[in-house]
Structures are given as C-alpha cells and as structure tokens.
C-alpha cells in the first residue's frame, strides 16, 4: 500500500506529467493548425512551454534546494530529448538541435524562476511571523524588564 506521504509526493508531479502529456500530444501532430515555420515565435513557444515544465518539475522535486534543482533539470533534459527523438518518427515533423537548446534554456529559466519565488515566499513568511510575534515598538524596554 502507498503511504499518504509518498502519495502526496507523487501528486506533486501530476501537473508536470499532465503538461508533458500535452507537449507529447502537440509533438504527435503531423501539422500544426497554424504554420509557424522557423520564426522567433517558434523558439519563444519552446522556451515558454518548457519553462513551465521546468518550474513544475522543480515544484515536484520540492523546496527549491540546489540538489532538487539539479534533479529537475536532468529530468527536464531527458524529457526534452525524448520529445525531439519522438518527432523523428512523426511524419511531417523533424527534430532540431535548436529546438532542444530552446527547450533546455526554458527548463533552466523555469527552475530558476521557481527557486527565486520559493525563496521570496519563504523569506516573506519569516518576516511576517517576526513582526507578528514581536511588532516594532511593542518589545521589552532597554532594561529587559518592561515598563514599570
């Protein structure tokens, strides 16, 4: 039986899994509904979607610590490479090292943004707790005994 802790941990990867399923589905299309060719839009799309994937992988691995960030990045590298290899077998699609490079840049950016937000939120939480426990001007007097 799966413990509730491991079930919660697995659930943290659900958003990344759903997004990768969406990416895989788009990669399976022989032709996009709108032809974009090689344009800046194409690379922006790669960076954006894989940036979101990177952030969701970082969320799945948790806490935004360096070790977790590396796990998220390496997982993203594997998923991006699988996406490009998959496209080799889809009629009308091709694999590009430039697409892979855009994917990896997006993954790294997404993880970086996630880590920065996690630190900002954690620091903000500590600041709020500190001012609630000991609000400015409401502390003890200089003698340490309070006012008499």
**Under 8 Å between Cβ of 93 and 83:** no
Q: What is the mean pLDDT of residues 111-117?
A: 93
Give me the mean pLDDT over the 114-138 stretch. 72
Evaluate whether 136 touches 81 at the Cβ level (below 8 Å): no
Three-state SS string over 54-101 comes to HHHHHHHHCCCCHHHHHHHHHHHHHHHHHHHHHHHCCCCCCCCHHHHH
pLDDT score of 142: 52
Q: Where are the domains of the chain?
A: 39-133
pTM summary value = 0.77
Q: Please, what is the Cα angle at 24 between 23 and 30, to 5 degrees?
A: 105
Find which of 28-32, 58-62, 140-144 is predicted with most confidence, using mean pLDDT.
58-62
For residue range 64-113, list pLDDT tens digits in order: 677 899 999 999 999 999 999 999 999 888 888 999 999 999 999 999 99
What's the pLDDT at 148?
46
């Amino acid at each position: 039986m799966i413990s509730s802790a491991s079930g919660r941990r697995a659930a943290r990867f659900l958003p990344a899994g759903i997004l990768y399923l969406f990416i895989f589905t788009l990669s399976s299309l022989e032709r996009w509904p709108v032809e974009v060719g090689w344009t800046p839009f194409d690379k922006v799309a790669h960076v954006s979607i894989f940036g979101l994937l990177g952030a969701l992988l970082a969320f799945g691995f948790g806490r935004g610590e360096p070790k977790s960030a590396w796990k998220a990045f390496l997982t993203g590298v594997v998923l991006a490479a699988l996406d490009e290899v998959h496209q080799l077998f889809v009629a009308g699609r091709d694999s590009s090292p430039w697409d892979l490079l855009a994917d990896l840049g997006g993954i790294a950016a997404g993880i970086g943004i996630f880590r920065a937000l996690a630190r900002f939120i954690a620091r903000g939480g500590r600041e709020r707790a500190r001012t609630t426990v000991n609000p400015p001007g409401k502390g003890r007097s200089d003698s340490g005994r309070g006012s008499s």
